[in-house]
Amino acid sequence: MLRKSKLVVLPIKGKIQQIFMKKIFTILLITFTTLNHAQEKTPKKVQIPFTQTPNGHIIIPAKINGIEGNFIFDTGAGINLLTKKFADKVTDLEKTHHFYTGHRATGEELQSDLWNSKTLEIGAFKAAKEKFAVYDIDFPLDGLISLTPFMDMAITIDFENNILSVESENSLSQLIADKDFEMPIQINNDRDIRIGIATTIKLNDSLALNVSLDSGAGFNVFRFSSRFMENLGIDQESLASEFKPSMFKPEVGNEYYYTTLSKMTDINNNVSVNDFKATFIDGLIHEGIMGINWIGKKITIDIPNKRLIVQK
């Protein structure tokens, strides 16, 4: 059993409503990856059914050291997270001497200890010695699974059929043959401790931004740093706005501005979104953060080759 003492509390990103509750806590964009990452290569394609919340969050079953739970699959959070309530059920969860200091998307610094599992099983996919952050918070799921178990392979999110696939060499070749287009991605890797994926988009055919791709944000979520309102000719005084205090440091917070933008495209104009709702945030540490459903119905994340393989 885990001791209660000095576990760093980390929030899961996003708002989950209708199925669970309306907005439990704000998204964290602290991204970590594993130290001494080890996994069993999967020679055959593995398909993992998932369910979706009305807001587009992906829920998958997984086992940690043989204990089963339900988790959000989140491309925007590079470390696997467990609630303390679930972690208390897991035997042989080993606390390491490692820690990582990161920042919320809105700028606040947070620090987490890291814990080792012996195994992580998601359907027929298995990984050994995964790192987890553990946090003590009341949440209706057991945590989240990040991209770190899949950082050396390609995985596909099929939104139409609700399937998460770990691709084999043969299945990846077929996806490439059937693709509508590829989208380049950047890998944000901080000493193999922090990892995330991003791409370049264009707003209103004029402003190119590097944005984080975050399935944990849910569907049709588009957030940008408020510093770019001037570039787009937006008068912030004319916008609806609100000040949101930090959940962890109520004495500080950020101003949110709400508007509609006419157009967003990927850098190569393969896909576009028109007349969409956008939020600009003071102090956002990224140029932008957004969900991924706008890219296509079937999206393969191929971190080793720095690309998305997309079927519209």
The residue with tokens 């055959």 is 44
Least confident of 10-14, 120-124, 257-261: 10-14
pLDDT number for residue 193: 62
Residues 249 and 184 in one domain: yes
* Closest residue by Cα to residue 297 from 143, 193, 181: 181
Residues 87 and 134 in one domain: yes
pLDDT of 101: 79
Does the pLDDT of residue 12 top 50, yes or no?
no
CATH code (residue 277): 2.40.70.10
Identify the burial level of 45 via C-beta atoms within 10 angstroms of its C-beta, where 0-12 means exposed, 13-18 middle and 19 or more buried.
Answer: middle
Q: Are residues 166 and 247 in the same domain?
A: no
Q: Are residues 163 and 187 both part of a single domain?
A: no
The predicted-structure confidence for 176-185, as pLDDT tens digits, reads as follows 999 999 999 9
- DSSP summary character for residue 171: H
Cα 233 vs. chain centroid, distance in angstroms? 30
Do 145 and 186 belong to one domain?
A: no
Q: How confident is the model at residue 17 (pLDDT cuts 50, 70, 90)?
A: very low
Q: What is the pLDDT of residues 80-94, one digit of tens each?
A: 889 999 999 999 999
Task: Name the domain boundary from 156, 172, 188.
Answer: 172
23, part of any domain:
no
Pairwise CA distance, residues 163 & 12, whole Å:
22
Q: What percent of the chain has a predicted confidence (pLDDT) above 90?
A: 68
Range of the domain at 190: 180-307
Helix (H) or strand (E) holding 51: strand 51-52
Question: What gap in Å lies between CA 68 and CA 77, rounded to an integer?
Answer: 21
pLDDT for res 38: 41
| Each residue's pLDDT tens digit, 22-58 | 443 333 333 333 333 444 445 789 999 999 999 999 9
Q: Is 173 left (phi over 0), alpha (psi -120 to 50) or beta?
A: alpha
Q: How many domains does the chain have?
A: 2
Shared-domain flag, residues 184 and 202: yes
Q: Is 49 contained in some domain?
A: yes
Same domain, 46 and 168: yes
The reported pLDDT for the residue numbered 110 is 72
Q: What integer pLDDT is reported at residue 184 of this predicted model?
A: 98
C-alpha distances in Å from residue 248, one per residue of 8, 106, 110, 133, 309:
12, 12, 10, 17, 38
Q: Do 126 and 220 fall within a single domain?
A: no
Q: Are residues 194 and 288 in the same domain?
A: yes
Asked whether residue 104 is assigned to any structural domain, the reply reads: yes
Q: What is the mean pLDDT of residues 107-114?
A: 80
Q: Is the pLDDT of residue 16 over 60?
A: no
Alpha-carbon distance of 134 to 137, in angstroms, equals 9
**Residue 193 sits in the same domain as residue 283:** yes
pLDDT at 85: 94
CB pairs under 8 A, 24+ apart, for 175-180? Answer: 175/300, 175/309, 175/311, 176/309, 178/311, 179/309, 179/310, 179/311, 180/270, 180/296, 180/310, 180/311, 180/312
Is there a contact between 39 and 128 (Cβ–Cβ < 8 Å)?
A: yes
Write out pLDDT tens, residues 220-241.
Answer: 999 999 999 999 999 999 999 9
Asked whether residue 140 falls in the same domain as residue 163, the answer is yes
Whole-number Å distance between alpha carbons of 311 and 297: 6
Residue finishing a domain among 150, 172, 194? 172
Alpha carbons 190 and 17: distance in angstroms, whole number: 33
| 15: in domain | no
Residue 288 has pLDDT above 50, yes or no: yes
My answer on whether 206 and 241 are in the same domain is: yes
225 lies in some domain: yes
CA angle, corner 80, sides to 86 and 8, nearest 5? 70
Q: Decide which of 172, 201, 224 is a domain's last residue.
A: 172
Indicate whether 31 belongs to any domain: no
- Asked whether residue 189 is domain-assigned, the answer is yes
- Residue 191 pLDDT class (50, 70, 90 cuts): low
Mean pLDDT of the chain: 85
